[in-house]
A and B are shown apart, each in its own frame.
Chain A
């Protein structure tokens, strides 16, 4: 049983490689061979108002690669109103034991031929890479080949991943970024222009960020629509992450809408309250698995408006493929810590 750290994973996986292995997973989902258990969120209130405990879990199987993955996160989940919009934030665990700010998100990789646990990996880097890789896979099939300008709403790590994903598929020349916090958007512009060697400019209103660009991105923490379909012009390719951050016109104006996946996701709360993450009518759009497997067509001509909603719930198979890649590479180069397999096995069954 191999245990990897965040720094080790960072040495083992690149976005290019993740795109390659994830294309296999999507194709397998498209043909119906792959399996995904949609994510669930389990919430409980804590003593502090505006703070909840959140446990996420999801799993999936890629039969051709012989692996299954469970991904979990154990999170402090604050939510508050900022710039007039209800938002959620990521804060570190409140643990005392290890000095510093830490988060807990893990991928458990299983061998489906034996049931054994093969590896445990932190999910942070792979979580980001797989979101970027889905965006790449979609952009290769939906964006205009010569698309080079981007307008993006959002400046978090998700936004970083989206720009990286687009840059992996296309030759980007210029990016304009808007987020309500001017410090955040400046920081994003600085970080990302250095990392990708692209001109990235912070702007102070969302409309000018989006208008006239070849590519539009919504990667925000907003619980309400911040991207407007009326801003989308001919030939643009829009990438979004959450249904709640884009308005209805973002679905009705485009000629092609592709979802990352078509699965209902469920939130669980005390007192048996549940919340289904599914907007009525979403099932009418095909998903990236179908697009990758060639069951539906991508962009046909330069005038089309396309929208890829990278709704993140489809994670089990993404984590399974990328984690397997990291583990194979780790074995090749001798990275990671071996733990006794018997720690996770028992001589009885239930």
Chain B
């Protein structure tokens, strides 16, 4: 049977501590050359409506130790719209019932079977948060207890949850430009995590005297200045543009999530000469990566004075393989999800 899960079911099953643990194992495999990632690709075309584009996104990863291969895909209608004076890319809920389409398909590599079909929404948040959590685990001072958070969206929540899973956090300061958002975030997360969370009026207030600084914004401009960072801080960021150049140059240790820098974009009139490859920023292009840090191929923090920076760039298929497999295993144990007949996806002839 093929297991089908919903985001609600996954949310009930997947806890941040477990998510971090399976991701850690996945990076160990990757670090010793046992995992495989098929880098992300985007296939784009115009739709029949002006200013609306179709984008098909996919990536894959195999983890032989778990015996799974994961395909993560999304099928989106996107538009470039100006909100608050900034050009932002928006994914429109054009599917039936104002929904989006993002799926993880999990395959058994020992048998070739399709094991599960699950939405990618909740897992996506958790794998980004969990990976940043690993950056904190391996780079932040062991006694780090004060957190400064820039951002108050769902990814900020996942970041905070992950930090709390790997360090004994005493207090959290949150800044985001919208006062209401940060207040709501403070209320919800304080209760959820059982730590002191308070809103602050300026980004600098959040950063000052924090042991761990985490950026989880949707900003296409730097919200953090490297010059604000004090000795001994650990910095985490997700987007290239949300931190400035100094954040890279002032840090004593910079680790990136992956050196797989490129997303290949395939568009009408495509030719490899004009291939559009995004990523590969010079600031982080040649830095060591998380898997190397985790298996000890490169050193992390040398002393309590150093500033460390984990740049959680890009997504990898093995993240979906590791977390998808965990969710699948928990669902099987606890009888979650619904089953689809396996023969619906099988054929009596070979491809």
Contact A345 B69 (CB under 8 A): no
Contact A59 B58 (CB under 8 A): yes
Q: How far is the CA of A123 from the CA of B36 in the complex (A)?
A: 25
The answer to whether B329 has its CB under 8 Å from any CB of chain A is no
Known: A44-B64, A115-B75, A116-B96. A94 touches B111 (CB 8 A): yes
The answer to whether A12 has its CB under 8 Å from any CB of chain B is no
Q: What does the 1/0 interface line of A46-74 toward B look like (CB < 8 Å)? A: 10000001011101110100101010111
Q: How many residues of B contact A (CB 8 A)?
A: 76
User: Nearest chain B CB to A290's CB is how many angstroms away?
Assistant: 12
Q: How far is the CA of A124 from the CA of B7 in the complex (A)?
A: 32
Known: A44-B69, A270-B34, A345-B99. A104 touches B114 (CB 8 A): yes
Contact A348 B100 (CB under 8 A): yes
**Which of B33, B38, B350 is within 8 Å of A105, CB to CB?**
B350
Contact A268 B37 (CB under 8 A): yes
Q: What does the 1/0 interface line of A84-123 toward B look like (CB < 8 Å)? A: 0000001011111110111111101010111111001011
Task: Kindly list chain B residues whose C-beta atoms are within 8 Å of the C-beta of A115.
Answer: 54, 75-77, 94-95, 100-101
Sorting the interface of chain A by its residue count into under 10, 10 to 19, 20 to 34 or 35 or more gives: 35 or more
Q: What does the 1/0 interface line of A308-340 toward B look like (CB < 8 Å)? A: 000000001000000000000000000001000
A interface, by DSSP: helix, strand, loop or mixed?
mixed
Task: Kindly list chain A residues whose C-beta atoms are within 8 Å of the C-beta of B271.
Answer: 262
Contact A44 B101 (CB under 8 A): no
Task: Kindly list chain A residues whose C-beta atoms are within 8 Å of the C-beta of B270.
Answer: 32, 35-36
The answer to whether A40 has its CB under 8 Å from any CB of chain B is yes
The answer to whether A45 has its CB under 8 Å from any CB of chain B is yes
Contact B351 A124 (CB under 8 A): yes
The answer to whether A272 has its CB under 8 Å from any CB of chain B is yes
Known: A35-B266, A57-B71, A116-B96. A102 touches B348 (CB 8 A): yes
Task: Kindly list chain B residues whose C-beta atoms are within 8 Å of the C-beta of A45.
Answer: 64
Contact B101 A269 (CB under 8 A): no
Residues in chain B within 8 A of chain A (CB atoms): 1, 4, 7, 33-38, 41, 43-49, 54, 56, 58, 60, 62, 64, 69, 71, 73-77, 91, 93-103, 105, 107-114, 117, 119-122, 124-125, 264, 266-272, 342-351
Query: What are 6 A-B residue pairs whose CB atoms fall within 8 Å in the complex?
Result: A36-B266, A113-B54, A115-B94, A123-B347, A270-B33, A337-B344
